[in-house]
Amino acid sequence: MVCLLTFYEQKRSWFADLNPITKLYFVGVMFLIPFLTDNLLILTSYFLLILALAYSSKIFNRFCNTLTRIILPLLILLFIMQSLLYPGGEKIICQIWFMSVKQEGVIFASTIGLRLLIVIGSILVFLITTHPKDMIMALEQKGVPSAIGYIVLSTMQIIPHMEMMSKRILDAQKSRGVEVEGNIWVRAKAYLPVVVPLILSSIAQLENKVMALECRAFNAPVKKTSMVDFTLTGADRFVRIIVILILVAAVVGRVASLWL
Amino acid sequence: MALVELKDLSFKYQLADEFALKRINLKIEEGDFYAIVGANGSGKSSLCYAIRGFIPHFHRGDFSGEVLVADQSNSQRKLGEIGLDVGFVFQNPFSQISGVAMNVYEEVSFGLENLGVAKEMIAHRVEEIMTLLEIEHLRQRNPYNLSGGEQQKVAIASVMVMEPRILILDEPTSQLDPVGTEQVFKAIELMKNRGMTIILVEHKMELISYFANKVAVLKNGELLLDGPIQDVFTSPVFAHSQIKPPVYVEVNSELKKHFDYCCEEVLTHEQCTALLHSLKQRSAIEK
């Protein structure tokens, strides 16, 4: 069974119903504002805002599970490295063997960690609440070339398919007597008989795919029809204003902190 | 006036030793249901690629001669422009999946969106073709998760729905069971009745003899024979084509030999059996 390479979950909510471009406004601002402040309290409040948004969009559990899966190993590594190896730190919290955990390192790791949580969290809320095709079509309506939309969407589908194809090739090679199970050396040897046919068949299919796309009038010299019209609702306008106000406040706060 | 005309067409693929097509001259009239037959490697697919413009626009090589579609030379037109006249269904259904549709309904409507057809018309045409090919139940399924036969039907529907003037089908029933094959042939016939010109590559001779009105026979890249079904299949030259003729041709020769009777109609396998049976009975009574 081939699945899409997407986090999308079909659940209606006020945020899911927004125009994808409005949601991109939100992601864009959430990309910028964590880097305009070092204040842990402000950064935490941004992250809480994202958590509240996930909750009100009825995707809280999915959001938390996915975010934990993506970011937890990274956060653990970040805290270990920064708290133990942060250069120039003076305030020692505790000593582990010959290494010491420094307060400056922990604060630095917390800042970076919160920034990561905000950026990845906002992208995740967007991806879970937005159908990939809606996102591409909204961008196309804004003038993004359809070829770019095609590349993004087809990649989302073709990668899981290639994974399935590699399993088929693996089974075929097994049936021909190629040893693919055992110690690391045996597995490494089995890598080539799987990867080479996978790459060659993908290239061959690519040629057919180009011709098939031609047959579906992808390059026809006419204006394409868009099946969905993304209108700008009152909710979209309101969210855009709030998001821009947050950005302005963050910029003003940053400038003020530099002056004072 | 021919809708498709091949004039002295020859083509050799890059890196190939031999020509895939050798000095082909062929005329296909508007409304024809033209079958292309031949052994594997005889140049059937290459001929179809040349009509669609993939040769020489996509597949490069030694090209000579001319392909005219609706009085315009393919060499002078872009692939996208030729596509407005010519639809093409490939043998491999998997490679025809657009890769951008989340379900079968979106897959079938993809071509119409690209053609700029109005939204209401897209909905109407997609529903119609899905009913015709009996794929309505697949509407919400991801095209990648269908079986080979289902994918083939979706691929055929996706091209038929665009209603091109000329529809080329390269072995479209290779992955279908007999019921699916019959559904596809009926859908093709319906398209023909609507005035579409059909060019079909197929190995199932019974179905060809039943549905098509003309046939071209290729051998080693050369056009061995072409013309109305009856003339071609009964021609002595056809015996050199390495293709088994439809069963009614063999039955007819047996009828001539034993009963001095000739049936002019194209018969199905069952009809032939019934006819032979009745003739045997009649002969026994006469004796």
B95 and A209 in contact by Cβ < 8 A? yes
Tell whether the model's pLDDT for residue B193 goes beyond 80. Answer: yes
User: pTM of this prediction?
Assistant: 0.74
The 3-class SS string of B182-232 reads: HHHHHHHHHHHHCCCEEEEECCCHHHHHHHCCEEEEEECCEEEEEEEHHHH
Tell whether the model's pLDDT for residue B265 goes beyond 70. Answer: no
Contacts of A131 in chain B (CB under 8 A): 102
Q: Which DSSP letter does residue B246 get?
A: P
The answer, for B121 touching chain A at a CB cutoff of 8 Å, is no
A218 and B54 in contact by Cβ < 8 A? no
Q: Is the peptide bond before A145 cis (omega within 30 degrees of 0)?
A: no
What counts of helices (H) and strands (E) characterise chain B?
Answer: 11, 10
Could you give the CA distance from residue A197 to residue A202 in angstroms, rounded to a whole number? 8
Question: Best mutation site among A205, A225, A228, A229 for testing chain B: the one with the most B CBs within 10 Å?
Answer: A225
In this structure, are residues B169 and B208 in contact, taking their beta carbons and an 8 Å threshold? no
Domains of chain B, start order? 4-98+165-241 (3.40.50.300), 246-287 (no CATH)
What's the pLDDT band for B23 if we cut at 50, 70, 90? very high
A219 and B80 in contact by Cβ < 8 A? yes
Could you give the CA distance from residue B55 to residue B19 in angstroms, rounded to a whole number? 13
pLDDT at A157: 66
Domain spans of chain A?
20-138+234-259, 145-204
B114 and A227 in contact by Cβ < 8 A? no
Please say whether the dihedral angle defined by the alpha carbons of residues A161, A165, A170 and A171, taken in this order, is positive or negative.
positive
Contacts of B162 in chain A (CB under 8 A): 216-217
pLDDT at A221: 82
Query: How do residues B196-255 score in pLDDT, each as one tens digit?
Result: 999 999 988 888 888 888 999 999 999 999 999 888 888 888 878 888 888 777 777 777
Which pairing describes strands A99-102 and A92-96: parallel, antiparallel, or unpaired? antiparallel
Whether ipTM exceeds 0.85: no
Pull the structure tokens for residue B10. 């020859």
A221 and B162 in contact by Cβ < 8 A? no
Closest CA to B5 of B25, B22, B23: B25
Instruction: Calculate what percentage of chain A has a pLDDT beyond 90.
Output: 39
Of B283 and B262, the structure prediction assigns the larger pLDDT to B283
The answer, for B122 touching chain A at a CB cutoff of 8 Å, is yes
B81 and A153 in contact by Cβ < 8 A? no
- DSSP state letters, A54-113: HHHTT-HHHHHHHHHHHHHHHHHHHHHHHHHH-TT---EEEEETTEEEEHHHHHHHHHHH
A214 and B119 in contact by Cβ < 8 A? no
Per-residue pLDDT of chain A (260 residues; tens, 9 = 90+): 545 556 788 788 999 999 999 999 999 999 999 999 999 999 999 999 999 999 999 999 999 999 998 889 999 999 888 888 878 767 777 877 777 888 888 899 999 999 999 999 999 999 899 887 788 788 888 888 877 877 777 776 677 777 778 888 888 888 888 877 777 887 777 778 888 888 888 887 778 888 888 888 888 888 888 777 788 899 999 999 999 999 999 999 999 988 87
The answer, for B1 touching chain A at a CB cutoff of 8 Å, is no
Could you give the CA distance from residue B152 to residue B97 in angstroms, rounded to a whole number? 10
| A217 closest CB neighbour out of B58, B78, B115 | B115
Q: Chain B residue closest to A228 (CA)?
A: B119
